[in-house]
Amino acid sequence: MTEQSPVTQAAQPVNATPNPVLPDAQTVTQVTHWTDWLFSFRTTRPASLRFRSGEFVMIGLMGDPDPKTGKQKPLLRAYSIASPSWDEELEFYSIKVQDGPLTSKLQHIQPGDQIILRPKPVGTLVHDALLPGKRLWFFATGTGFAPFASLLRDPQTYEDYDQVIVTHTCRDVAELEYGRQLIENLRADEMMQELLGEDTLAKLVYYPTTTREESPKMGRITTLLKDGTVFRDLGIEGISPETDRAMVCGSMGLNLDLKEILEGFGLEEGANSDPKHYVVEKAFVG
Ligand code: A2P
């Protein structure tokens, strides 16, 4: 792949009162293209929208007009909110699929454009679905990093745990950049330091790996867990239901493989109504 620097379209002064031409319209405030197939964007937030960090909402655009009736229907997909619940805007992190019904269009949005956002947040990657523990693991591949981008900026994550380990596996180094920058900015964020206390962010451990392009740590996270590399690298004895909690977000294959690994360590899957040791959600793929 060709490595490229992220290109950010800075927020343009948007009309103070844009005319909502779409149902549940929100206005795009910023778009950043990270690679040829990854981008993130920020939008205005509906005043009524309350959500828990880690949840997702349905977002999208109007579909093409029906050739017979000329009518247009909204084309919506589930997207994890990547911004924390205290942020006055919303952020999303997306793949670009050239023939994907939604992302082939969504990738062209610009500041000032409108998207549809149904303000009904749901999801299992929330603190409420886990029992109290000492160490929290976030396991992500690709755009599965999005819900953790929200949770990593939520003070509760650091208040509830002694250590927070985020692993992110991508094919290439450039695909790690959104997460890498987010963590770098978080560590340098004076407001977070003030909010949490200066030492709190020392709880955060970032463990990025690549599978196809050379990088300091190579391999699928599943392999690195099974052969003990992760534990050796981090000076941790292992994962146990007494101390460890986990959230998993990636492809179907990753989710299934990690479920098996975590259950092998004795962890049980939780839900909003039945909090346990780990939770899983599929990352948006198309
Ligand atoms: P790999 O390159 O070995 O397939 P994708 O771009 O296909 O969504 O994959 C994102 C990252 O997730 C890649 O690094 C990929 O590794 C990895 N991955 C895909 N499937 C699994 C799985 N079942 N277990 C662990 N990692 C996986």
In degrees and rounded to multiples of 5, residue 232 shows phi and psi of: -65, -45
DSSP one-letter string for the chain: ------EEEPPP---SS----STTEEEEEEEEEEETTEEEEEEE--TT----TT-EEEEEEE-PPPTTT----EEEEEEE--S-TT-SEEEEEEE--TT-TTHHHHTT--TT-EEEEEEEEE-S-SGGGB---SEEEEEEEGGGGHHHHHHTT-HHHHHH-SEEEEEEEESSGGGGHHHHHHHHHHHH-HHHHHHH-TTGGGGEEEEEEESSS--SSBS-HHHHHHTTHHHHHHT-----TTTEEEEEEE-HHHHHHHHHHHHHTT--B-BTTB-BSEEEEEPP--
Any ligand 1 atom below 6 A from CB of 35? no
Q: Ligand 1 centroid vs 44 CA: distance in angstroms?
A: 33
pLDDT of 2 > 90? The answer is no
Any ligand 1 atom below 6 A from CB of 212? yes
pLDDT of 266 > 50? The answer is yes
pLDDT of 3 > 90? The answer is no
Residue identifier of the C-alpha nearest atom 5 of ligand 1: 142
Q: What is the pTM of this model?
A: 0.92
Average pLDDT over residues 46-62: 95
- pLDDT tens digits for range 154-208: 999 999 999 999 999 999 999 999 999 999 999 998 888 888 877 888 899 999 9
Any ligand 1 atom below 6 A from CB of 243? no
Mutate which of 213, 251, 255, 256 to test ligand 1's pocket (most atoms within 8 Å of Cβ)? Answer: 251
Q: Ligand 1 centroid vs 248 CA: distance in angstroms?
A: 13
Q: Ligand 1 centroid vs 194 CA: distance in angstroms?
A: 37
Q: Ligand 1 centroid vs 141 CA: distance in angstroms?
A: 7
- pLDDT tens digits for range 215-245: 999 999 999 999 999 999 999 999 999 999 9
Model pLDDT, residue 195? 82
Tokens representing 71 are 């009518």
Q: Ligand 1 centroid vs 250 CA: distance in angstroms?
A: 8
